[in-house]
Structure 1
Amino acid sequence: MIEFQLEQLYAWITGLLWPLLRVGGLVALAPIVGEAVVPVRLKVGVSIIITLVIAPVIGPMPAIAPASYAGLLIAAQQVLIGMALGFCMRLIFTATMMAGEFVGLPMGLAFASFFDPATGANTAVLSRLLNLVTMLLFLAVNGHLLMLDGLARSFELLPIGASLHADGWAALMHWSGQLWIIGLLLALPLLVVLQTINLSLGILNRTAQQLSVFAVGFPITLSTGLIMLAIVVPRSSEFLMQLFEAGYQAMAQIARGLMGT
């Protein structure tokens, strides 16, 4: 007859429950798998599969009952840690969408927007285009696997049950502060060209007032913007790969900061 003790049952539950909460927090906000169009059942299934792979190498868990107040506190901590790591990588994709917003306005495509189910709001068509390019490159360079590797390493840097320090949240805020800078750097080549054209059209409007700048300016800015997109987007892969690498380093910095090291 096989007998189970309560301590053994708690050990089995905590061996999968607490890692699952951290993994689930990352999956909820991570790029691609965390999109709103992805079914919740698929997110839960992916979280369980990842947990089953990671759990055997995590190490011993704290001997705390999951239903106790201390267990609930640890559960909340794991969810917050996973969400912070997933949000760290999501910021890269948000920056590319912001770059599309920056470029769409001087091109005259600010009105070209549609409902994006991933964000639940109207998104400019250029923002969606750059976001799709970033997603494809992220998958092509196995960025999703490196993100999961960073998640697995977070269990070494920040064991389950460790107290959280404010330095990790400060590192997350510092990384989120780079959002505008990244978006501007990505859109800078097109912004320089388009703003130069707009400045030239403004001077032309003052010198040749009989010429309708509004009728001539829109085709010029639109065609020039499309040509610049065809030139810049294929050459932006190196810049995006550097952003991915910076995101992985930010994940490690957040984990170390939460640990207080």
Structure 2
Amino acid sequence: MDAPLLQLSQYLNLLLAYWWPFCRIMAMLSLAPLFSQRAIMVRVRVALAVALTVAMGAAIPDLPILDPFSMQGVAAVFEQIAVGLMLGLALQLVFTIYTLVAGIISTPMGLSMAMVNDPVHGVSSSSILYQLYYILLVLLFFAVDGHLVVMSVLYLSFIYWPIGSGLYYDGFSTVLYAFGWVFSAAVLISTPIVFCMFLVQFCFGLLNRISPSMNLFSLGFPMAIVMGLTLIYLTLPNLGESYLNLTQQLLDSIGIMMRESGNG
């Protein structure tokens, strides 16, 4: 008579062995680049998280025995959600850099009001220059097998940050400090174009000051757009190299963060 109850308990333990990894994977996919887009339905994201959980379930370290209905079990769920969100946010930083780059370049070009509908990101509008950079980044992401890199980082997180080992302040502080890296990288990438646009605006303003009757300053607005598009065209060949360098720096930072604050 006790055999069915014993089998039910075994099935429950097996289900719990996949529950906590599922929480971390689902949280990471909600912020990871491309996987978090509104174009991907929630059901597709959940199915992908379940598939990854089943695939990684046998490879991750042994899980501690936790009662899911105890405070320790509830804390473990929130721990996995926090770690997953931190990983997803960290992997999203390179795309965030080019979001800032597009915003910085759009202002001197006069395209800061050039917005297009963006249902993919769940916002009413976004910069048209960012749409250009975003399409190129998506192609580069799949060209360098970025989706496989995301899965590798996720698997290593279970090695260095086992389930039930607690949260690490060093990991969260490193992500917070990375926002400074995002701003500095965006400024470095956009500085050449912004400086050239400043020279164009300065020259037309100087000419308008010399001969105000010709109203040459009004000619500077279309010329600024043409010059800005030309500069973007000239800098696009370096986009792949800069994307790879930024991604490598990001992965190195994540690796150092895992080794210093983890248990691996």
Q: Which letter does structure 1 place at the counterpart of 2:80?
A: Q
**Any residues of structure 2 matched to 1:101-140 within 5 Å, and which?**
101-117=103-119, 118-140=121-143
User: CA 1:167–1:257 in 2, change beyond 3 Å: closer, same or farther?
Assistant: farther
Which residue is 1:206 aligned to? 209
Whole-angstrom distance in 2 between the partners of 1:260 and 1:202 = 60
Whole-angstrom distance in 2 between the partners of 1:176 and 1:7 = 46
Q: 1:130-189: per-residue Cα shift (whole Å, max 9, x none)?
A: 122112111111011111101101111111110212111110101122121121122222
1:93 to 92, 95, 118: 95
Whole-angstrom distance in 2 between the partners of 1:259 and 1:17 = 21
Between stretches 251-260 and 166-175, larger displacement belongs to 251-260
1:94 is displaced (CA, Å) by 1.4
What is the aligned-residue RMSD (CA, Å)? Answer: 1.9
Between stretches 182-191 and 53-62, larger displacement belongs to 182-191
**Any residues of structure 2 matched to 1:58-77 within 5 Å, and which?**
58-77=60-79
Return the TM-score normalized by structure 2: 0.92
Whole-angstrom distance in 1 between the partners of 2:112 and 2:217 = 15
Which residue is 1:47 aligned to? 49
Q: Which letter does structure 2 place at the counterpart of 1:111?
A: M
1:191 lines up with 2:194 in the alignment? yes
Which residue is 1:80 aligned to? 82
Which residue is 2:34 aligned to? 32
Whole-angstrom distance in 2 between the partners of 1:217 and 1:112 = 18
Which residue is 1:157 aligned to? 160
Whole-angstrom distance in 2 between the partners of 1:121 and 1:184 = 26
Between stretches 172-181 and 3-12, larger displacement belongs to 3-12
1:5 is displaced (CA, Å) by 4.3
Which residue is 2:181 aligned to? 178
1:63 is displaced (CA, Å) by 0.5
Instruction: Please tell me whether the aligned partners of residues 61 and 160 of structure 1 are also in contact (alpha carbons under 8 angstroms).
Output: yes
SS in 2 for 1:109: coil
User: CA 1:28–1:257 in 2, change beyond 3 Å: closer, same or farther?
Assistant: farther
Which residue is 2:252 aligned to? 249
User: CA 1:245–1:79 in 2, change beyond 3 Å: closer, same or farther?
Assistant: same
1:238 lines up with 2:241 in the alignment? yes
Q: 1:48-72: per-residue Cα shift (whole Å, max 9, x none)?
A: 1111111111021110122221111
Which residue is 1:168 aligned to? 171
Whole-angstrom distance in 2 between the partners of 1:234 and 1:248 = 23
Q: Which letter does structure 2 place at the counterpart of 1:221?
A: A
1:144 lines up with 2:166 in the alignment? no
Instruction: Please tell me whether the aligned partners of residues 165 and 260 of structure 1 are also in contact (alpha carbons under 8 angstroms).
Output: no
Return the TM-score normalized by structure 1: 0.93
Instruction: Please tell me whether the aligned partners of residues 205 and 217 of structure 2 are also in contact (alpha carbons under 8 angstroms).
Output: no
Between stretches 68-77 and 107-116, larger displacement belongs to 107-116
Deviating 4+ runs (over 3 angstroms): 1-7, 253-261
1:244 is displaced (CA, Å) by 1.3
SS in 2 for 1:201: helix
Which residue is 1:57 aligned to? 59
Whole-angstrom distance in 1 between the partners of 2:260 and 2:49 = 25
1:24 is displaced (CA, Å) by 0.5
Between stretches 108-117 and 166-175, larger displacement belongs to 108-117
Q: Which letter does structure 2 place at the counterpart of 1:68?
A: S
Q: 1:207-234: per-residue Cα shift (whole Å, max 9, x none)?
A: 1211223431012111111111111112
Identity of aligned residues (%): 26
1:30 is displaced (CA, Å) by 0.5
User: Could you list the runs of 5+ residues in structure 1 that have no partner in the other structure?
Assistant: none
